[in-house]
């Protein structure tokens, strides 16, 4: 990936993230978030992760963010937008986040890169990212895969039980 493209995608992601956190209307925040997800998916494409770029758009932008939009439409948005956006102690939160950011930024200088694996760019070009990931998911990671499906089932049942009106 060229420096120019990374510069554009990275700065766009940071600006959109800031807009998500600071905009007054939650609907605007969700829409900025969706735009940010598209840029993040392009970054994944540049890293050679086509399958993840696809599910980033399909699952995150397509499913999770639409769920957020539906819930915001259920809430009384006019009433919620009155009053302050940030809580009274926001300088403390800003200081904490900025301090943690600087600390970890300094620590990345001492980062050591481990031994490289076997899935080089040539291997990925030969058998595509999706196939390579599928092979790994259905062999070494079959148990976590099944557990993930169980988690999703529990989440669906739990969400319905929590959100449905009491019948009395």
Partner 1 sequence: MVTLQWYIWLSLGMFMIGIFGFLTRRNIVMMFLSIELMLNGVNLSLVSFSSFLEDLRGHILTFFIIAVAAAEAAIGLAILITVFRNRATVQIEEIKEMKG
Residue pointed to by tokens 């039980």: 161
Minimum distance from CB of 154 to partner 1 (Å)? 7
Residues 54-83 that bind partner 1 (CB under 8 A): 55-56, 59-60, 63-64, 67-68, 71-72, 74-76, 79-80, 83
| Residue of 125, 138, 144, 146 interacting with partner 1 (CB under 8 A) | 144
The answer to whether 94 contacts partner 1 (rule: CB under 8 A) is yes
Separation between Cα atoms, residue 60 and residue 34, nearest integer Å: 8
The answer to whether 119 contacts partner 1 (rule: CB under 8 A) is yes
Minimum distance from CB of 168 to partner 1 (Å)? 14
Q: What is the chain's Cα-based Rg?
A: 21
Kindly state the helix (H) or strand (E) to which residue 101 belongs, with its residue range: helix 90-107
| Residue of 34, 57, 100, 168 interacting with partner 1 (CB under 8 A) | 100
Instruction: Give the total of residues touching partner 1 (CB under 8 A).
Output: 87
The answer to whether 110 contacts partner 1 (rule: CB under 8 A) is no
| Residue of 10, 128, 138, 146 interacting with partner 1 (CB under 8 A) | 10
Residues 34-53 that bind partner 1 (CB under 8 A): 36-37, 40, 43-44, 47-49, 51-52
The answer to whether 167 contacts partner 1 (rule: CB under 8 A) is no
The answer to whether 152 contacts partner 1 (rule: CB under 8 A) is yes
If you write DSSP's letter for every residue of 13-80 in order, what string do you get?
A: HHHHHHHHHH-SSHHHHHHHHHHHHHHHHHHHHHTT-HHHHHHIIIIIIIIIHHHHHHHHHHS-HHHH
Separation between Cα atoms, residue 31 and residue 20, nearest integer Å: 8
**3-state SS class at 143:** helix
């Amino acid at each position: 990936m060229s420096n120019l493209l990374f510069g554009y995608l990275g700065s766009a992601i940071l600006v959109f993230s800031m807009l998500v956190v600071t905009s007054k209307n939650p609907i605007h925040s969700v829409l900025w978030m969706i735009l940010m997800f598209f840029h993040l998916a392009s970054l994944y494409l540049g890293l050679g992760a086509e399958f993840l770029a696809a599910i980033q758009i399909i699952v995150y932008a397509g499913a999770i963010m639409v769920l957020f939009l539906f819930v915001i439409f259920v809430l009384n948005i006019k009433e919620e937008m009155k009053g302050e956006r940030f809580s009274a102690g926001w300088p403390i939160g800003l200081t904490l986040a900025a301090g943690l950011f600087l600390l970890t930024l300094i620590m990345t200088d001492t980062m050591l890169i481990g031994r490289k694996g076997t899935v080089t760019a040539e291997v990925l070009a030969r058998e595509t990212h999706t196939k390579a990931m599928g092979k790994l998911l259905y062999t070494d990671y079959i148990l976590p895969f099944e557990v993930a499906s169980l988690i999703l089932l529990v989440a669906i049942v739990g969400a319905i039980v929590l959100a449905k009106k009491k019948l009395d």
